[in-house]
Amino acid sequence: MEQNTPQTPPGAATPDSAAEACYRQVLEALSRAGVPFLVGGTYAFADHTGIRRQTKDLDLFIREADFARCAQVLAAAGHETERTFPHWLGKVHAGPTCVDLVYNSGNGIARVDDVWFEHGRDAEILGVPVKLVPVEEMIWSKVFVMERERYDGADVAHLMHAHADVLDWARLLERIGPHWRVLLNHLILFGFVYPDDRDRVPRWLMERLMERLHDEMRAPLPAEGICRGTLLSREQYLHDVERRGYGDGREQPNGSMSTEDIAIWTEAIPGRRAGPPGYCGTRP
> 92 and 27 in one domain?
yes
pLDDT surpasses 90 at 153: yes
Q: Identify which of 15, 13, 35, 12 has the alpha carbon closest to the alpha carbon of residue 23.
A: 15
Q: Give a yes or no: residue 2 inside a domain.
A: no
Q: Give a yes or no: residue 59 inside a domain.
A: yes
> 172 and 92 in one domain?
no
The CA radius of gyration of the chain, in Å to the nearest whole number, is 20
Q: Give a yes or no: residue 30 inside a domain.
A: yes
pLDDT recorded at residue 86: 96
pLDDT recorded at residue 272: 81
Q: Of 193, 217, 241, which residue sits at a domain end?
A: 217
Q: Give a yes or no: residue 281 inside a domain.
A: yes
> 236 and 177 in one domain?
no
Average pLDDT in the 118-128 region?
Answer: 97
> 254 and 227 in one domain?
yes
Average pLDDT in the 148-167 region?
Answer: 97
pTM of the prediction?
0.89
Distances (CA, A) of 52 to 6, 7, 20, 144, 150: 10, 7, 15, 22, 17
Can you give the residue range of the structural domain that contains 240? Answer: 223-284
> 152 and 128 in one domain?
no
> 124 and 28 in one domain?
yes
> 24 and 128 in one domain?
yes
> 198 and 158 in one domain?
yes
Q: Of 191, 217, 243, which residue sits at a domain end?
A: 217
Q: Of 181, 197, 217, which residue sits at a domain end?
A: 217
- Give the separation between CA 282 and CA 59, rounded to whole angstroms: 32
Q: Which residues touch 260 (CB under 8 Å, ≥6 apart)?
A: none
> 56 and 162 in one domain?
no
pLDDT tens digits, 168-225? 999 999 999 999 999 999 999 999 999 999 999 999 999 999 999 999 999 999 888 9
Q: Identify which of 271, 210, 213 has the alpha carbon closest to the alpha carbon of residue 238.
A: 271
Q: Give a yes or no: residue 259 inside a domain.
A: yes
> 37 and 111 in one domain?
yes
Q: Give a yes or no: residue 273 inside a domain.
A: yes
pLDDT surpasses 90 at 8: no
> 97 and 44 in one domain?
yes
Q: Give a yes or no: residue 234 inside a domain.
A: yes
Q: Give a yes or no: residue 4 inside a domain.
A: no
Q: Which bin fits 95, alpha (ψ -120 to 50), beta or left (φ > 0)? A: left
If one counts the domains in the chain, the total is 3
